Amino acid sequence: MTAPLYLDAAATSAVRREVLEAMWPYLTGDFGNPSSHHGYGESAARALADARATVAAWLGCRASEVVFTSGGTEADNLALKGIALGAVAADPDRGRHIVTTPIEHEAVLASVDYLVRRHGFEATMVPVGRDGLVDPADFSAALRPGTTLASVMLANNEVGTVQPVAELARIAHDNGTPLHTDAVQAAGWLPLDVRALGVDALSVSGHKLGAPKGIGALFVRSRLPLEPVLHGGGQERGRRSGTENVAGAVALATAARLSMAGQERAAAAAAAARDAFIAAVLTEAPDAQLTGHPAARLPGTASFVFPGTNGEAVLLELERRGIVSSSGSACAAGSEEASHVLLALGYDEELARTAVRFSWGSEVTAGQLAAVAPAVGEAVRTVRGLAG
């Protein structure tokens, strides 16, 4: 039986064999706690330091500026809560104001909501256009003197739109405001050099680029005060307590190193295949609408709304045809509410519920994608026929 074609990489990727092989020793013989002062602990500590150096090289920062976390959600929480509360602790008279967008990942939006409800912050949401892009002029207008923090994701997890983060960082810094970016979806596709991006904090998650679930990292610029979210033994230079996940850190570092090799070439090939796939789907399903920006988008993401259907029903029809995809963010799976991202882009609730997202890694070929488009057309027509 042929395995289904997996087009839900934005939800999670398979663990790469090289990553499994690299982390295996630290799940078996070298299982020590890196805080222990004996051979087992020292071996683990060396592996952790090497992994931190590799991730730092990937992100273009100092090793001391890398904080290992349990994933992207924790990294976002630590960035938003840690930087905001750290700023208030350092200067109690500083204004409590955060700027973000309505299309951020739930980890960012929920953290902002927590700061508003529990710590008296105000939040300004910068609107996005129909294509999901933030207008730098709107972003600038949202900032105030003393704005505590701004957070704008590098690439959207549902529609794939890539934001002009470097430009937004310059605008934020002109206002004296640090900028955080959630780069979870961009990892593996786009360069994440924090010096080129100009950001003060950046979140990544291992399971989007071939490492297992349960490991992520936050870059946070050394000059920024950071209030810990987790308290305990003071690991990660006091910024994130808890016995370090050495095997996970090694896995993330290995996945990062592999992603850097040939990334530009792989992204260009994937983008060409993506554009051909988008054109084919719009031909096979003429009423379909591409969501997100037509060009400023991730190489491995294409999402559509199919009027007159139900997104979940289309997914079931696609799976019957050997294609696995999703209706949007896996973190919101099971929710009956329409996508907050599509609503922010201006889609009404009925149309937003027809969304289907296709996302893939560099291992998916242009030929495989080309074969998907006719199946999409068939699935859409079948669902519409059932509805009629």
What is the chain's pLDDT, residue by residue, as a tens digit (388 residues)?
578 999 999 999 999 999 999 999 999 999 999 999 999 999 999 999 999 999 999 999 999 999 999 999 999 999 999 999 999 999 988 889 999 999 999 999 999 999 999 999 999 999 999 999 999 999 999 999 999 999 999 999 999 999 999 999 999 999 999 999 999 999 999 999 999 999 999 999 999 999 999 999 999 999 999 999 999 999 999 999 999 999 999 999 999 999 999 899 999 999 999 999 999 999 999 999 999 999 999 999 999 999 999 999 999 999 999 999 998 755 554 556 899 999 999 999 999 999 999 999 999 999 999 999 999 999 999 999 876 5
61 as an active site residue: the answer is no
CA–CA dist 124, 146 (Å, integer) = 13
Task: Indicate whether 138 and 73 sit together in one domain.
Answer: yes
Q: Which of 141, 295, 331, 386 is catalytic?
A: 331
Query: Which of the listed residues 229, 260, 291 is the one where a domain comes to its end?
Result: 260
CB-based contact 218:209 (threshold 8 Å): no
- Write down the pLDDT at residue 1: 57
Task: Indicate whether 75 and 199 sit together in one domain.
Answer: yes
Domain count of the chain?
2
- Domain containing 29 equals 17-260
Query: Which of the listed residues 217, 238, 260 is the one where a domain comes to its end?
Result: 260
Percent helix, strand and coil across the chain, each to the nearest 5? 45, 15, 40
* Phi (first) and psi of residue 155, to 5 degrees: -145, 135
Q: How many helices (H) and strands (E) does the chain have?
A: 13, 12
Task: Indicate whether 179 and 251 sit together in one domain.
Answer: yes
CB-based contact 373:280 (threshold 8 Å): yes
How confident is the model over 151-188, as pLDDT tens digits? 999 999 999 999 999 999 999 999 999 999 999 999 99
Helix (H, G, I), strand (E, B) or coil at 342: helix
Task: Indicate whether 276 and 186 sit together in one domain.
Answer: no
CA–CA dist 281, 290 (Å, integer) = 9
Task: Indicate whether 224 and 278 sit together in one domain.
Answer: no
